[in-house]
Amino acid sequence: MAILKIARMGHPVLRQRAAEITDVTAPAIRQLIADMLETMEDADGAGLAAPQVHVPLRLVMFHVPAHRASGTGEDQPAGLTVLINPVVDPLGPEKAMGWEGCLSVPGMVGSVPRFERIQYRGFTPDGQLVQRTASGFHARVVQHECDHLDGILYPMRMTDMSLFGFADEMTRRHREVEEAARD
């Protein structure tokens, strides 16, 4: 296990489309997952995508802590989920604004429009297909992480740049920002 270096906005690995993983259960993928888990825990992040550790492959991991999910409808907490070759489909056109941060954009937060409800699927490290419907924070985390696989960082999704700033400045004005800064 190893803590990996996290790429920051401006590095080309964060701007490219990541490649599909052909052998989901390969030892090298297992090792990458173990190292990413350690990296995500060390950074206290809610999620991490492989391009953020300089590996341009379609692999994400995330968790939805109980205090972040509203608990209503499909916005439910989720334990640690590792998804290989994930696909996200919006369920309806509705979007909601919410605060996001990113380990690749350290110290910053922004309010980002995301689809309110989604369906997503992908493979677990054992090669099992997972399919879930999610809304709220759960849906937001999945969209944020999967965007990394297509070279998209959250500031590129923002529609109101007045809601982008340094976390410590924004926290004084918006209490809910505090948690987002660590994602």
Catalytic residues: 145
We find the least distance from the C-beta atom of residue 183 to Ni ion, in angstroms, to be 7
Q: Toward Ni ion, which CB reaches closer, 9 or 33?
A: 9
Q: How far is the CB of 127 from Ni ion (least distance, A)?
A: 26
CA nearest 32: which of 65, 11, 61?
61
CB of 169 to Ni ion, least distance (A): 20
Between residues 32 and 102, which has the closer beta carbon with respect to Ni ion? 102
d(CA 163, CA 84): 32
- Compose the 99-138 pattern: x for residues touching Ni ion by CB under 5 A, - for all others: ---x------------------------------------
Rounded CA separation 129/52 (Å): 24
Nearer to Ni ion by Cβ, of 156 and 161: the residue is 156
Q: How many CB atoms lie within 10 A of CB 12?
A: 11
- Residue with smaller CB distance to Ni ion, 110 or 136: 110
Return the range that interacts with Ni ion (CB under 5 A); candidates 75-83, 95-103, 122-130, 164-172: 95-103
Beta partners for 171? Answer: none
Does position 7 interact with Ni ion (CB under 5 A)? The reply is no
Instruction: Return d(Cα 61, Cα 89) in angstroms, integer.
Output: 18
Q: How far is 120 from 29, CA to CA, in rounded Å?
A: 21
* Single-letter code of the amino acid located at 157: R
CA dihedral over 3, 129, 57, 59, signed as positive or negative: negative
Shortest distance, position 144 Cβ to Ni ion, whole Å: 6
List interacting residues with Ni ion (CB under 5 A).
102
